[in-house]
A and B are shown apart, each in its own frame.
Chain A
Amino acid sequence: MQIKHHHSARVSPAVPREPLWLRILLIAAAYFIIIGLILVPLIYVFYQALSPGWDVFWANLVDDHDTRHSIWLTMTVAPVAVVCNTIFGVAAAWTITKFRFPGRTLLITLLDVPFAISPVVAGLMFVLLFGLQGYFGEFLRDNGIKIIFAWPGLVIATMFITMPFIARELIPLMQSLGSDEELAAVSLGANPWQLFWRITLPNIKWGLLYGIIQCNARAIGEFGAVYVVSGHIAGETDTMPLRVEKLFQEYNNPGSFAVATVLTLMALSTLILKVFLEQWIAAQESARLKEGEQ
């Protein structure tokens, strides 16, 4: 399920070409699809949010306590999930690419499962475990621990949905890098700490960053799983995407679109970061290739 990020700059040269009219038609169709399906909706988010005027837009964002709280909540849930998944991703990629052991293939397959499970089902699983009627419900209640309809539930659900992103980015990268440098370092007496910080991390840092960016975008935007575990209590467990939905249900379109603009701006920054990172990685690769030629 790996989606390869590509570093496209080249157009295949000297291939037999289609007639000019067909080329123009296909390019026009591509423009039509992307503008109609992606660009116009993007602009419409800002149009809807800003059409009542800047003052209203700003008031919708800042004066509404529940909206303010949802922004704060998303800012605290997403980073925790991303940090946990970063540690997991590095550990999983290290184990899977550096060692051979029974069950390794099964582990790789299991990594994909969160991609295949509907977010709603993911949320449901955690309700079944930690909800009041759940398997650990009584134990948690007796000990005064709240997971479902509370912050920990939001984090767990987000962690589940975004679990594979970083590992999935690192595994092919570390596989292609091989272990030669690490093996050389070990034979020269490097301790595990030095090995990771001096050899492995510098080699994988851009791929890791790429994975973190994608994981973060998904963590911020997660809706289904969080919807099920949050209980949507306004001002308490509503993250930004849930706040968008609640305002929409209350027929508060400008308010809903105001929150949506913040999410859209985050998505756009993700996209811009990704483009820069891809160009950076491509530049580094071509530099390495040139070095190899000399």
Chain B
Amino acid sequence: MLQPDPANAATHSDPQSSSPDSNGGEVAVAPHPLFRRNPLPGFGLGLGITMSYMSLLLLIPLLALMAKAAELTPSAFLAAVWSDRALAAYFVTFQTSLLAALVSATFGLLLAWVLVRYDFFGRRFLDSLVDLPFALPTAVAGLVFSALLVKEGWYGQFLVPIGIEGAYTKLGIIIVLTFVGMPFAVRTVQPVLESMEADTEEAASSLGASRWQTFRRVIFPALWPGILTGFALAFARGLGEYGSVVFISGNMPFVTEIAPVLIVARLEEFAYAEATAIAIVLVAGSLASLAVINWLERRSQRYAN
């Protein structure tokens, strides 16, 4: 598909004009990009490696998932997907991910705001610590929060006596999911805030807007796509999260069992088809949130332009 086309090769003999990134200069005379001569090597090799790697690791496994689910009769599929225990697990997954994403987005906005707008002692230190949940294995997060929240733990000794049980409850799940999801929320809002020009705010205040009005009417709408993207990323991460949750949730069916834990439980019973059916629901949910994220990103890019 990238073979030199003799007709175009003549007009595009100099490499500059056939640069694949030169999307600004040529307008009417530009041939369709597919037929433009590209002198750079490695297309075949690069595409070959990329396609075989992605086929082996991604496409064939996804096909296996579909094929396994297709082995079930529709009624058996429905029975696996729509059992009381599965419904309870979806609900717990959805509820905790949603709440954790809401908390993450709120904390993320606050942290991004403080880290970008204010200069204070320890700012760089706090800024670096925000990334820790990206680097820390989720199992360690689950382990440490479950130890902190039991009644002998540093947090539990204060919280448990006043009736706040963190370990082995939904609250615990929400806390670890917030830990895991918050950096996404900070890091999507922060660049938007950094690149924001001061003049609109100055204009708003010189026209007599209060600081709060400026924030609500000028700053917040500009940050909104970033906040939403961070929210969606944290939510998607929460839907699939397993490592940290198994430590803290206690994994009680109908109460604190999340969908990934139910999949593992089915697998350990060697009920592969049922596990696959539940997995399909989970994948559909996460792909839907991925689609929303991509849509939001395109929208925010348009906004930025």
Residues in A lying within 8 Å of B, measured CB to CB:
1, 3-6, 8, 10-19, 23, 26-27, 29-31, 33-34, 37-42, 44-45, 48, 84, 87-88, 91-92, 94-102, 107, 109-122, 124-129, 131, 133-135, 156, 159-160, 163, 175, 178-180, 182-184, 186-187, 192, 195-196, 214, 217, 220-224, 227-228, 240-242, 244-245, 248, 253, 256-257, 260, 263-264, 267-268, 270-271, 274-275
Contact = CB atoms under 8 A, between A and B. Distances in A.
Contacts of B19: 178-180, 183
Instruction: Tell which of B54, B133, B297 has the most Cβ of chain A within 10 Å.
Output: B54
A128 B276 contact: yes
A182 B196 CA distance: 34
Contact of A100 (B34, B110, B132, B243): B34
A30 B135 contact: no
A102 B34 contact: yes
A156 B124 CA distance: 37
Nearest to B199: A15
Instruction: Tell which of A16, A224, A253 has the most Cβ of chain B within 10 Å.
Output: A224
A206 to B, nearest CB: 17
B57 A160 contact: yes
Interface string B184-220: 1001101100101010011001000001001000000
Contacts of B34: 100-102
Contacts, number: 346
Interface of B: 1-2, 14-16, 18-21, 33-34, 36, 38-43, 45-47, 49-50, 53-54, 57-62, 64-65, 67-68, 107, 110-111, 113-120, 122, 124, 126-141, 143-148, 153-155, 178-179, 182-184, 187-188, 190-191, 194, 196, 198, 201-202, 205, 211, 214, 233, 236, 239-243, 246-247, 259-260, 263-264, 267, 270, 272, 275-276, 279, 282-283, 286-287, 289-290, 293-294, 297
A30 B110 contact: yes
Given A113-B290, A118-B239, A128-B272, A175 B143 contact: no
Contacts of B117: 11-12, 15
Given A99-B47, A124-B267, 9 more contacts: A12-B196, A41-B148, A113-B287, A126-B61, A160-B61, A183-B15, A220-B137, A221-B243, A248-B146
B205 A192 contact: no
B43 A221 contact: no
B184 A3 contact: yes
B2 to A, nearest CB: 7
Contact of B240 (A8, A120, A192, A244): A120
B43 A99 contact: yes
